Amino acid sequence: MVIKKIAVLFSGSGSNLEAILEKVHAKVFNGVLIEVALLITNKSDAFGIQRAKNFGLDTLVVNHKDFKSREDFDARLVKEITNANIDLTVLAGFMRILTPVFTDQILAINLHPSILPLFKGANAINDSYNSDMALGGVSVHYVSSELDAGKIIKQRAFEREKDMSLKEWEAKIHSIEHEILPEVIVEILTK
């Protein structure tokens, strides 16, 4: 049996982490066993830590504030990921800008709540909702040193319904995220 190990990095609620744990972790796809082997957060109060505990998994807290520079923080992440023999790193709501220290050494994918290249940055849900776009959506892309700009792997769009509220827009985005991110992980690791 081939075993592929993933690391998941998150900063907050961790609903996407939970989707990965439910749909992908410790499951076999096409003869490949996918294992969430490393969890890292930069926030000691991230709710995702609790979600992981419910699956019997511990999360390593690496607080970016404990490091002198972005590069020093990234070097620590690289060390943890390399030591754990990770095949694919997944950024699931990991709200840190990464430098080439990380992006040149680690194969990673990121989840973004818009149809890239539209609405890059941390306010994509609000920005896309407040735009004239009749479509919203989600992207999964490879991580590069340019923010939200690496090669796009998969996107899924939805139509704006009449009088859709921001809350409904956001809920639709999250429900698509919970499908598309596990799908991409399986696709990459079983290729």
Active-site positions read 112
Which residue of 13, 99, 126, 144 would you call a contact of ligand GRF, by CB under 6 A?
A: 13
Place of tokens 């989707």: 19
Find out whether 181 and 21 touch, Cβ atoms under 8 Å.
no
Give the residue with the Cβ less far from ligand GRF, 33 or 120.
120
39 binding ligand GRF? (CB under 6 A): no
Q: DSSP assignment, residue 76?
A: H
- The CB-nearest residue to ligand GRF is 93
Strand (E) positions, the chain? Answer: 2-10, 27-29, 32-41, 60-61, 88-91, 108-112, 135-142, 152-159
Give the residue with the Cβ less far from ligand GRF, 19 or 189.
19
Tell me the helices (H) and strands (E) count for the chain, helix number first.
6, 8
Residues of each annotated binding site: 14-16, 70, 95-98, 110
Residues of each annotated binding site for (6R)-10-formyltetrahydrofolate: 70, 95-98, 110
Structure tokens at 126: 């609000």
CB of 125 to ligand GRF, least distance (A): 7
113 binding ligand GRF? (CB under 6 A): yes
Burial 141-176 (b: 16+ CB within 10 A, else e): bebbeeebbbeebebbebebeeeeeeeebeebbbeb
Helix (H) or strand (E) holding 125: helix 124-129
Give the residue with the Cβ less far from ligand GRF, 15 or 190.
15
Give the residue with the Cβ less far from ligand GRF, 32 or 126.
126
Which residue of 12, 23, 120, 155 would you call a contact of ligand GRF, by CB under 6 A?
A: 12
Q: List residues near ligand GRF by CB under 6 A.
A: 10, 12-17, 92-93, 111-113, 177
